[in-house]
Amino acid sequence: MENKKNLEYLDKYYSLKSIGNSIDYLSKKIKRIRAHVNPFKFLDKHQFEGFKNNNPIIIDIGCAKAEFIFELYKKLKNYNFIGFEVRPLMIKYLEQEFEKYKNIIFFSGNAQNNLINIIEPNLKKNIKIEYIFINFPDPWIKTKHIKRRIINKEFLNQIYQLFEKYNVKTKIIIQTDVDFMFNDIKEQIINSKYEKYTLFDKPIFNIQTKWEIDSIKKKKTIYRLLI
Ligand SMILES: C[S@@+](CC[C@H](N)C(=O)[O-])C[C@H]1O[C@@H](n2cnc3c(N)ncnc32)[C@H](O)[C@@H]1O
């Protein structure tokens, strides 16, 4: 049954979404950027000692073109922003487009390999990580690809242990338009050290991501939770 649902979804997802988006001409500067890449192929490891101010940080994992970060930036003064994006060409685009914004930085590669080492030096300096957003994570539908999903118990436990070590609380916001993926995310959370989550209805700060805007046009349901 679940496989049938996955297949139906695969069909809809790749035929509807990707025809528009995977052949994705992001800007005149960059030609074609693949819609999906295997995160395990990108082993980039980064160091980051922090921004030049002590303002709180908001993180967006899988930021794509960073429209969401930019909307946050316009609305929230006195914050710093970190975007993680696995697609290397997208990172090139972001570095060019956001060059002049000194309180926005992007890191390439699989966010699972970098989140902790990027956050920890900031926590050591008592800098607050206010939010981590994981907006519309790739669902990786095929059973053999499930391990590529960004949200899993092990990754959640790493995050939990880091915040526990520094005795801080950071809100993690997860949003998706994929019902079976949302169920999986909830299960991963329950089995992780977080154990529980809170559902909510409206976009935080009233800002929709690019993916959300497209999904709503297609009359899809958006599922949201906070841990
Ligand atoms: C479906 S898109 C959503 C984009 C954006 N968050 C939005 O809501 O409009 C998922 C994004 O996550 C990125 N991504 C997937 N796995 C990742 C990983 N392990 N680390 C960093 N980025 C990842 C993809 O390249 C893609 O840009």
Q: Which of 203, 217, 215 is nearest to 72 (CA)?
A: 203
Output the CA 108–ligand 1 centroid distance in Å.
11
Average confidence score pLDDT of the chain: 88
Is the pLDDT at 71 greater than 50? The verdict is yes
CATH superfamily label, 33-226: Vaccinia Virus protein VP39 (3.40.50.150)
Reading the block at residue 197, the tokens are 């989550």
pLDDT in tens, 3-50: 444 444 444 443 334 433 433 444 444 456 667 788 988 888 899 989
Q: Long-range contacts made by residues 181-187, C-beta under 8 angstroms, separation at least 24?
A: 181/137, 181/139, 181/149, 182/223, 182/225, 184/149, 184/151, 185/151, 185/225, 186/225
Pocket probe for ligand 1: among 86, 118, 131, 182, the residue whose CB has the most ligand atoms within 8 Å is 86
* Residue 60 annotated as catalytic: no
What does the pLDDT read at residue 33? 63
Predicted TM-score of the model (pTM)? 0.87
Q: How many CB atoms lie within 10 A of CB 33?
A: 21
pLDDT in tens, 187-196: 999 999 999 9
Pocket probe for ligand 1: among 44, 63, 204, the residue whose CB has the most ligand atoms within 8 Å is 63
Output the CA 146–ligand 1 centroid distance in Å.
15
Q: Domain-by-domain residue ranges, the chain?
A: 33-226
pLDDT in tens, 104-124: 999 999 999 999 999 999 999
Is the pLDDT at 1 greater than 80? The verdict is no
Share of the chain above pLDDT 90, in %: 78
If you average pLDDT over residues 208-220, what whole number do you get?
97
